[in-house]
Amino acid sequence: MGLLEGKTAIVTGSSRGIGRGIAQKLTEEGANVVINFTRSQKSAEKTAASLKEIGGKYILAQADVSDLEQVNRMVEKAVKEFGAVDIVVNNAVNPVIYRPFEEQLWDDYQYQVEGTLKACFNLVKATMEGMKARKWGRIINISTMGVYMVKEPGLGAYITAKSAMLSFAKYLAETLGPYNITINTISPGLVNTPGTKNTLPPEVWENGIKNTPLRRNGETEDIAKAVVFFSSNLADWITGTYLPVC
C-alpha cells in the first residue's frame, strides 16, 4: 500500500514538466489525481496515459487557476468523482517572462503574480472548507531557489511572484494549522524540463551545474519525491516551512 492510498490530489499545471512528474509520483503512492491544464489538452492526455500505465485513477480538469470560478468548477468535479480533495499542489505558473529590468513593465509582474500567488489563493479558498471539515489537508506550493539566489536579472517578475508564495504559506500555516491542514513550500533548483530549457539561455544551465554540489541539474522526480513527503503522514508535524530541493 502506498503512502497516499485513498487520498485525492489536485496538481495544477500537471500537463507537462514538473507537474507531470508530481502527478506520476503521487499516483505511484496510491493517490487519485486531478490533472489540471489550461490550454493543452493533448499534453494533459499524455500525462493521463502515463498515469494509466501505472494503474492510477485520474480525471482531466481544464481550468485557468487564476480564475476562481473555473477553480471552483474543477474542485466540484473532483469531489463528485472522488468524494473529496485532500492534497493541493500549487505548481502552475504563467509562462515565464525573461528580460532585463530596464525592459520590464509592471504588467509583467502583475501577470506573474496572477499565475502564482492568485492561483494559490484560489485553490486554497476552493478546498479549505472540505479539508477543515475532515480535519486533514495538505497544501504544497512549488516555488523556486531563485527567491534566495537571485542571480538572473531577467527573472525579476517571476522571482517576485514566487517569493510572495513563501509569505502566504507562512500566514496560512497559522490560519489552517488548528484544522490539521499543513502548507509547505518546495523551492527547486534548475530542473530539466522542455519549458525551462526553452526559456533560459544555455549559460544559465551551465552555471546551474557548476553551482550545485551534486554537479547536476534536477529531474522532475527529484521534486516529486519531496511533494510525496509533504503530502503524506511522514510530514504530520511540519508546516509553514521552505525546503530547497537542489
Catalytic residue positions?
158
Contact by Cβ (8 Å): 89, 227: yes
| Cell numbers representing residue 187 in the block | 523551492
User: How far apart, in whole angstroms, are the C-alpha atoms of residue 165 and residue 139?
Assistant: 12
Sheet with 242-245, edge to edge strand ranges: 58-62, 32-37, 8-11, 87-90, 137-142, 181-188, 242-245
Residue 156: which residues within 8 A CB-CB, separation 6 or more?
Answer: 101, 104, 108, 109
User: How far apart, in whole angstroms, are the C-alpha atoms of residue 160 and residue 109?
Assistant: 8
